[in-house]
Structure 1
């Protein structure tokens, strides 16, 4: 399989319009356009019955004590964990691309709704947990929400865009689900996969 984007090059920096936040000299960061990037795929293997798309930041600090704290930095040596930015499942074979901004445009406080045209389904991303204690932003963040790494992180974050060809037409997931739920559900059903990587920093 092949996966690519016209929005940025594999291994290159993700433009700010596809991020949750961009740099701001006065306040460190400000909210951005939060558009999903263009994505396209090809060479789907025979026997494929549906596709799954995941977007994962693999460089999120495992400890948040110093995140976005004045006078402190998040050291590059700190162990990192995954943060799911998007899980889109049950993608039909009739679809071979996603247009820029098709599924997300602007930050939606308390999160975007879950519903998509059938058969597409999307899970909650990890902003759901990040904003859980924020009275103005808390909610279920379905679908895509873009990069917003700590503005004081020494490490440039890497975002993995992955598409999976599956041997089932529909994943056995019901109701509200997470990216980790998708990882578990696709186990044993993957015929092929492809990925490309984008980078982003607010330093």
Structure 2
């Protein structure tokens, strides 16, 4: 199958969308491989993060805060970069009175995952006898700025206005960011930046 090229050199390409029914191969950067000479339209896949519980820029429901159940919200992601072997997640509030406040962190999230269920922030349930069968990874836990190795939801001071909570998911080129069972949330992100292939972000708001 001949590859499309520029200047006589074979290129790599983004995923492309077929217009006239041609066979197409997903590539990485610009030129697109096709057969049959049909015209095509190239589209770049975007690594994205979302939650069924709230939209990007939307208000975080109270059940995901200490005002109610303080559960971690469900999260879903799609189209991570090619070569992703694991993920790391942090949640931070840059509007806190004392500066950026870290609420949650997880790392060593296996590359096959596409979601985190509601409530997982209170501790992933793992079992050495069943993990191999269910392919449930042993998640590394971030120590938040409350000093807790778990999720602690939005808790802005009353009357302090709207706070923005950044859920940041890093796609990494390593299967394990650290073998340590716990790290500070700030250190998770510092370590992740050294292995980052891409980043997706979801922002929720909350006020009291």
Tell me if both proteins adopt one fold, taking TM over 0.5 as the criterion: yes
Q: What does 1:4-153 align with in structure 2 at a 5 Å threshold?
A: 4-21=50-67, 32-62=68-98, 81-104=99-122, 117=126, 118-128=137-147, 141-153=148-160
* Corresponding residue SS for 2:101: strand
Higher relative contact order (CA 8 A, sep 6+): 1
For 1:41 and 1:102, locate their aligned partners in 2 and report how far apart those are by CA, in whole Å: 16
Unaligned runs of 5+ in 2: 1-46, 127-136
What RMSD over aligned residues (CA atoms) do the two structures have, in Å? 1.6
TM-aligned CA deviation for residue 145 of structure 1: 1.1
Q: Give the CA deviation at 1:175.
A: 4.6
Partner SS state of residue 178, structure 2: coil
Q: Is the 8 A contact 2:85 2:111 kept in 1?
A: yes
Q: What's the offset of the Cα at 1:127?
A: 1.2
Segments of 5+ residues of structure 1 without an aligned counterpart are 22-31, 63-80, 105-113, 129-140
8 A contact 1:7–1:100 mirrored in 2:
no
Please report the TM-score for the alignment, with normalisation by the length of structure 2: 0.69
For residue 164 of structure 2, what is the aligned residue in structure 1?
A: 158
- Per the TM alignment, residue 84 of structure 1 is displaced from its structure 2 partner at its CA by 0.9
For the pair shown, the structure with the greater C-alpha radius of gyration is 2
